[in-house]
Chain A
Amino acid sequence: MYSFLVLLAGILQSAMMSFNGLLAESVSLWGVSFIVHFSGGLLLVLYILLVVREKITLRGMPWYLYSAGFFGVLLVSVSSWCVGILGAAVTTCLSVAGQLFISAVIDHYGLFHVPRVPFSIKRIPCFLMILAGIILLNLS
């Protein structure tokens, strides 16, 4: 049951990317980003007030953590643009490959104060397989 819910979450994420990509065909990328964050934020406020029943506070963090919103705008705009050209499946694949790559770099050097985890040689064949897949995507 819970597995199904997580699978559904993945399907919804993909649906979001596709819908945003379609929306970007008529509305500008900043417009898409505003619509997505405004409607999402509104729903999240309702969920916090009605289901979680927590008080809403946005103040009291170090200032640089508010850059989360900057990344939010950038990520939605860029993904909408990429999905419009590459399609949802290819964008997802490339994004996850990028996520694995940067995570390995961050772990290896212990960036952002995370514990250092040296890169394991066992991961190299997996990365080569992903690279081969990306080369195939390039050919299509």
Chain B
Amino acid sequence: MYAIIFIAFLYGCATVISKMINYRAAQELGTWNGSLVNYVVASILALVLLFFSSKLQTDLAMCTKVPAYLYAGGTFGVIAFVLSIVTLNRMKVFQSTILLLSGQLLAGILFDVAVFRNFSWIKLAGVLLVAAGIFWDKKVTSSVSKND
């Protein structure tokens, strides 16, 4: 349990480094083409890894068996990305970040109950405490940068 919690934390760290690379790519090629690079290179890389992982046969066999709606993940991701870019110049970054996070946590808690059927009050308290800490920190850092 400790290991996976640490991995999820590291995942967040890697997200930031990935965002910085994507930001630089967007400066070079523009917002849209810059993010498309991520999708194209990732598709090719994932396909190559799939070929070498010996999971190709089982994956192809499973592809037709899983419910079709599970394939909507990528679509949701792109819609979320386009929405966050298009709305960004109409509100403050602080506001946008908090709204994104609220939506994510709200839906996360609901999905956990509805789909994964795991819910506990201690977990909910932990999630709320982390969320409150993040909101507070965002408030502190945004007031610090305003004073400069």
Contacts and interface: CB of A to CB of B under 8 A. Distances in A.
Interface of A: 2-3, 5-23, 26-28, 30-41, 43-45, 47-48, 52, 54, 56-58, 60-62, 65-76, 78-79, 82, 85-103, 106, 112, 114, 117, 120, 122-123, 125-130, 132-140
Contacts, number: 400
Given A14-B108, A15-B76, A87-B112, A6 B136 contact: no
B134 A130 contact: yes
22 contacts: A6-B96, A7-B99, A9-B79, A10-B103, A12-B79, A12-B80, A16-B74, A27-B59, A39-B75, A44-B32, A61-B29, A69-B41, A69-B43, A72-B38, A78-B7, A85-B4, A87-B111, A98-B11, A99-B16, A126-B137, A133-B133, A140-B123
A90 to B, nearest CB: 7
Q: DSSP class of B's interface residues: helix, strand, loop or mixed? A: helix
A65 B24 contact: yes
Q: DSSP class of A's interface residues: helix, strand, loop or mixed? A: helix
Given A10-B100, A87-B118, A133 B91 contact: no
Contacts of B25: 61, 65, 68
Contacts of A139: 122, 126
Interface of B: 1-2, 4-5, 7-18, 20-22, 24-25, 28-30, 32-33, 35-47, 49-50, 53, 55, 58-59, 62-63, 65-66, 69-84, 86-87, 90-91, 95-96, 99-109, 111-112, 115-116, 118, 120, 122-123, 125-134, 136-137, 140-141, 144-145
A13 to B, nearest CB: 5
Among B24, B75, B108, B136, residue most surrounded by chain A Cβ atoms (within 10 Å): B108
A20 B11 CA distance: 15
A100 to B, nearest CB: 6
A18 B115 contact: yes
A43 B75 contact: yes
B54 to A, nearest CB: 9
B46 A34 contact: yes
B36 A98 contact: no
A26 to B, nearest CB: 5
B136 A126 contact: yes
Closest 8 CB pairs of A and B: A10-B103, A69-B41, A98-B12, A41-B39, A133-B129, A136-B126, A133-B130, A72-B42
Contact of B76 (A13, A27, A61, A134): A13
Given A65-B21, A69-B45, A7 B28 contact: no
Contact of B133 (A58, A70, A130): A130
Nearest to B44: A69
Given A10-B101, A11-B104, A16-B73, A98 B91 contact: no
